């Protein structure tokens, strides 16, 4: 059995090498992203480990089939840019990492909300200007607020537990309600009901066609004045232009965004010596009531180790048994 891992970052390499040694499997590691231009590096290998950051289309899966590659294991949850129909057509098994560390993302989302609530960005600017006055940046306490959690998968449920620990009232919405949460009466009657009740809305939903621009001009209008938005899920869940308008009008009081609708050319790249030619992103950067981070909610040692090991284990399991628990269907 031979595996090749594409797009490996330095922080992943050690975990991959440890896995290869422990399992006595031949593993090739490259920092190159998996594309139709680099797929030729996979000749002679049985499976590919990759990070899904760019679209994987029919042309790519066609090349995999020609090389007799049998499995593509992605080291992340999201598969929104993978053409699963094409993968099936070319007999390529696709696996993902359904849960690498729900705590990492849930904890980060709460951390960012606390910064919004305590006006940290505004006070940082005042400190830089030698202005040490408190007013008018008075805060609200989390225990006095209603937090609306959209998406009650593993991450959403951990976030709910954390918010409850702060004493906040927690309500939730999910297209596929969890029986135990429904029995506990934690679900709002509808998404509109959640919008009307919540002082904070935190997104933990996947990027699907149904969820695209879930938050937009119309839905912002249904929310409480001065609502706070937290997004550590997927950038496409929010219509960015509509969010900026809502921030300017005061309908949205602040936003903590670890994902951005058009993030791929920006996040995890060193752009310190170039101008970012994205007017929406630049406008968000200039807002004092917006906290932007470059998709780092997942980025902990525990999460990275789990992402690497689960992806390699999935490829090994499929190549050994012909079936795998982490198959993307």
- The CA-atom distances, in angstroms, between 113 and each of 33, 55, 140, 195, 237 are 33, 31, 11, 17, 18
- C-alpha to C-alpha distance for 23 and 124, rounded to whole angstroms: 49
244 and 107 fall within a common domain: yes
Question: Quick one: tokens of 305?
Answer: 């180790």
- E strands, the chain, where? 2-5, 26-29, 47-50, 71-74, 93-95, 146-150, 169-173, 200-203, 227-231, 252-257, 290-292
Nearest residue to 4 (alpha-carbon basis) of 16, 18, 21: 16
pLDDT band at 99 (very low <50, low <70, confident <90, very high): confident
Strands 146-150 and 93-95: unpaired
For 180-226, the three-class secondary structure string (H helix, E strand, C coil) is HHHHCCCECCCHHHHHHHCCEEEECCCCCCCCCCCECHHHHHCCCCC
Q: Write out the residue range of the structural domain in which residue 309 sits.
A: 2-100+301-321
User: How many helices (H) does the chain have, and how many strands (E)?
Assistant: 12, 11
Which one, of 40, 39, 47, 100, lies nearest residue 72 by Cα? Answer: 47
What is the rounded average pLDDT for all residues in the chain?
Answer: 96
Predicted pLDDT at 123 = 96
Q: Is 8 helix (H, G, I), strand (E, B) or coil?
A: coil
Question: Is the residue at 165 inside a domain?
Answer: yes
SS3 113: helix
Does residue 329 fall inside a structural domain?
no
Is there a single domain that holds both residue 262 and residue 226?
yes
The pLDDT tens digits of the residues spanning 201-244 come to 999 998 888 999 999 999 999 999 999 999 999 999 999 999 99
Instruction: Let me know whether 226 and 258 are in one domain.
Output: yes
Based on the fold, state whether residues 169 and 285 are members of the same structural domain: yes
With a cut of 90, say whether residue 311 has pLDDT above it.
yes
Q: Which two tokens stand for residue 130?
A: 């030698």
* CA distance linking residue 27 with residue 16, whole number of Å: 8
Q: What angle do CA 22, 24, 30 make, to 5 degrees?
A: 90
For residue 187, tell me if it sits in a domain.
yes
* pLDDT at 248 (0 to 100): 97
- Indicate whether 53 pLDDT > 90: no
Which pLDDT score, from 0 to 100, does residue 214 have? 97
Same domain, 282 and 182: yes
Kindly report the backbone phi and psi dihedral angles of residue 254, in degrees, each rounded to the nearest multiple of 5, phi listed first. 180, 160
Q: Are residues 179 and 273 in the same domain?
A: yes
- Give the total number of structural domains in the chain: 2
CATH number of the domain enclosing 150:
3.40.50.720
| Within-domain flag for 326 | no
| 136 and 278, same domain (yes or no) | yes
Residues that are catalytic: 234, 263, 295
State pTM to two decimals: 0.89
In this prediction, residues 28-42 reach a mean pLDDT of 96
C-alpha–C-alpha distance, residues 284 and 282, integer Å = 5
- The total of other beta-carbon atoms located within 10 Å of residue 225's CB is 9
- The band of 329, judged by pLDDT with boundaries at 50, 70 and 90, is confident
Please tell me whether residues 113 and 243 are part of one structural domain.
yes
Same domain? For 256 and 214 the reply is yes
């Amino acid at each position: 059995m031979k595996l090749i891992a594409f797009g490996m970052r330095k922080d992943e390499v050690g975990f991959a090498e440890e896995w290869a040694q422990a399992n006595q499997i031949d593993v090739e590691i490259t920092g190159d992203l998996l594309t139709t231009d680099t797929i030729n590096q996979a000749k002679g290998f049985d499976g590919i480990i990759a990070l899904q950051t760019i679209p994987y289309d029919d042309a790519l899966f066609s090349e995999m089939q020609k090389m007799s590659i049998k499995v593509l294991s992605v080291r992340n949850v999201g598969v929104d840019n993978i053409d699963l129909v094409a993968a099936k057509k070319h007999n390529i098994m696709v696996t993902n990492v359904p849960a690498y560390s729900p705590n990492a993302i849930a904890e980060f989302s709460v951390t960012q909300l606390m910064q919004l609530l305590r006006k940290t960005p505004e006070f940082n600017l005042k400190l830089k200007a030698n202005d040490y006055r408190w007013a008018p940046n008075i805060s609200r306490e989390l225990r006095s607020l209603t937090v609306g959690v959209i998406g009650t998968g593993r991450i959403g449920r951990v976030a709910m537990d954390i918010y409850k620990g702060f004493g906040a009232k927690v309500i939730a919405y999910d297209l596929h309600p969890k029986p135990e949460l429904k029995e506990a009466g934690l679900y709002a009657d509808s998404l509109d009901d959640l919008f009307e009740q919540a002082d904070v809305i935190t997104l933990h939903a996947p990027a699907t066609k149904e969820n695209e621009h879930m938050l937009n001009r119309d839905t912002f209008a249904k929310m409480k004045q001065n609502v706070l938005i937290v997004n550590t899920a997927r950038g496409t869940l929010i219509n960015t232009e509509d969010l900026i308008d809502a921030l300017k009008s005061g309908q949205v009081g602040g936003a903590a965004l670890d994902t951005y609708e058009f993030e791929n050319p920006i996040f995890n790249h060193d752009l310190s010596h170039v101008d970012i030619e994205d007017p929406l992103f630049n406008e968000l950067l200039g807002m004092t009531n917006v906290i932007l981070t470059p998709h780092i909610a997942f980025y902990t040692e525990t999460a990275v180790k789990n992402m690497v090991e689960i992806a390699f284990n999935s490829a090994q399991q499929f190549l050994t048994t012909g079936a795998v628990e982490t198959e993307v269907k």
